[in-house]
Amino acid sequence: MKTIIEKYGHKRVTVVEGGITRHRSIFNGLKVFAEKQFSSHLFQKPEVVIIHDAVRPFVEEDILSKVVMAAKEHGAAGAIRPLVSTVVASAADGCLDHSLERARYRASEMPQAFLFDVIYEAYQQCTDYDLDYGTECLHLALKYCKTNAKLVEGTADLWKVTYKRDLYAAESIIKDNLSQEVCVITDANETVAQVGFLLPESLKRQIKVETVSISQSRNDNHLQSIFSGQCYNFVCVNDKKCAIQETQQLVHILEKSDIPLLHPVVLISVYLDISGNNSFSIGMEELASIKKFARETKKKNILVYGLLIQYKPQLQSKICQRGQWTASRRGEQNVLWMNTTLFMLISVYDGWHLKTQLKFFTVQTKDPSLLQETVNSAAALIMALIKDRNPELIGQLLVA
C-alpha cells in the first residue's frame, strides 16, 4: 500500500495497520486522531469522518457530499439501496420460518459518515463480541450513542467487488469511464489537416473530442488542463516521417508534469500514407524502435499504439482531342499527376480517311467518399484501442 502511495504521489494519505476484523480495523483508524500512543504523529481531529469499503471502488463525489452533510445534522448517515430479492428466515429444520416485507427494508451500503465524537465514543464502548462479529457501524452509533442515522439513497454503482466475476465487471466499468474523451493532436500540413478534420468528426459520433494543434500540445499548462479534465486518450496525427517523434514528445511532457497516472493513458501515433506512393514502407528497424519505445512507456502506465491510414487515389483515363479537354481541365485540384500517350486514330467514313489526333491522359483523382471511408475505418480502430486498452497490443502498427 505504501508503494502505491509513493508511486502515484498521494500527499494526504496515511496507512494505518488494520485489525483482524472489520470493526477492529476501523477502530485502529479512529485512534490515529485521538490516541498519541497509537501513532508517531497525532492528526488533527476532524469534525466528520467517512467510513468506506475498498471493495466499493465506484463511489461518487455526490454521495460522499450527501452523507457528510446528513452526518453534520443527524450525527450519523449512511447510503442505502432497495433490496433486489426478498429476505427470508429459515427454521431449524431448514424450512421457511418467515419472510420480510421487501418494500419496508433496505440494503445498507457504504459510504457512511459520522461526527467523529459519536463514532469514536461508540467504538470505545464496544464489547469484544461487537468488535469480532459485528459489521454495521450505524448500529453501533444507535446502540451506544443513541444516534439515529439518516439514511441516504445511494446509486447503483455502490455494489461490492466480492467474486472473481465482479472483477471483470469492475474492469469494464473502469475502461468505460476512461473512454469518454479523446484529444486529437494535428499539425498545419495540408494533407494532415484534411485528415485532422475528418478524423475528429468521425470520432465525435462515439466519444467527446478535443482537437489541438501540435504547438498547443507542447505547452505543458495546456496539456495539464486537458489531462486534469479526465482525458486519458490522445491521438497524434502527423505525416509518416515524424508521427512517432510527436508521440515521444507528448510522453515527455506527461512525465514532466505532476499529474499522477492513476489509470493507463492511451497514445495512438497515426502515420499517414495518402500520396499514392507505392514505395511507402516502414522498415523493420523502425518497427523495432516503436515496439521498444512502447515497452518502456508501458512501465509508466502509458500504452502506445501505431495506426497507418492508407488512402490511394483512383486512376482514371481522360481523352483530349485536338488539344480540347473533354473532361478534367488543366489546373483542377483533383488532378495529381498524369502520363500522356500520343497516337493517330484513322477512321474510314464513306471512302474518306479521317485522321484524328488524340491524347490519352491517366490522371489520379481524389474521391472524398473513399477518403471518408478510410477515416471511418481508422476511427473504428481508434475506438477499439481506447475501449479495450489491451497492453498486449502496444507497439503494434494497425492498418486502416
Q: Which residues contact 353 (CB under 8 A, 6 or more apart)?
A: 346, 347
For residue 31, how many C-alpha atoms fall within 13 Å in the half-sphere facing its CB?
Answer: 19
Mean pLDDT of the chain: 81
CA dist 31 → 17, 39, 132 (Å):
11, 8, 17
What gap in Å lies between CA 297 and CA 255, rounded to an integer? 10
pLDDT value at 324 more than 90:
no
DSSP E strand stretches across 204-313: 208-213, 233-237, 265-273, 302-310
Number of H helices, E strands in the chain: 13, 16
Q: Given its phi and psi angles, is residue 101 left (phi above 0), alpha (psi -120 to 50 degrees) or beta?
A: beta
pLDDT digits (tens, 9 = 90+) for 108-165: 999 999 999 999 999 999 999 999 999 999 999 999 999 999 999 999 889 899 999 9
Tell me which residue of 133, 137, 108 sits closest to 27, measured CA to CA: 137
User: How far apart, in whole angstroms, are the C-alpha atoms of residue 52 and residue 292?
Assistant: 41
pLDDT, average across residues 37-65? 87
Alpha helices in 259-338 (DSSP H): 284-298
Which carries the bigger pLDDT value, residue 353 or residue 38?
A: 38
Q: What DSSP string describes 16-60?
A: ----SSHHHHHHHHHHTTT-GGG-SSPPPPPSEEEE--TT-TT--
List residues bridging with 346 in a β-sheet. Answer: 355
- Output the pLDDT for position 151: 98
pLDDT in tens, 209-223: 988 876 665 555 666
The pLDDT, as a whole number, for residue 27 is 96
User: How far, in Å, CA of 175 to CA of 167, rounded?
Assistant: 12
Task: Retrieve residue 298's grid coordinates.
Answer: 508501458
User: From residue 382, how far is each of 148, 184, 246, 268, 392 by CA, in Å?
Assistant: 52, 11, 18, 8, 16
CA distance 139 to 158: 20
- 152: closest CA among 103, 102, 109, 100? 109
Residues 75-101: tens digit of each pLDDT: 999 999 999 899 999 999 999 999 999
Residue-wise pLDDT tens digits, 355-378: 445 454 444 455 678 888 989 999
- The answer on pLDDT for 279 being more than 50 is no
Task: Tell how far CA 373 is from the center of its chain.
Answer: 25
d(CA 7, CA 2): 9
Q: Is 274 helix (H, G, I), strand (E, B) or coil?
A: coil
* Residue 215: predicted pLDDT: 62
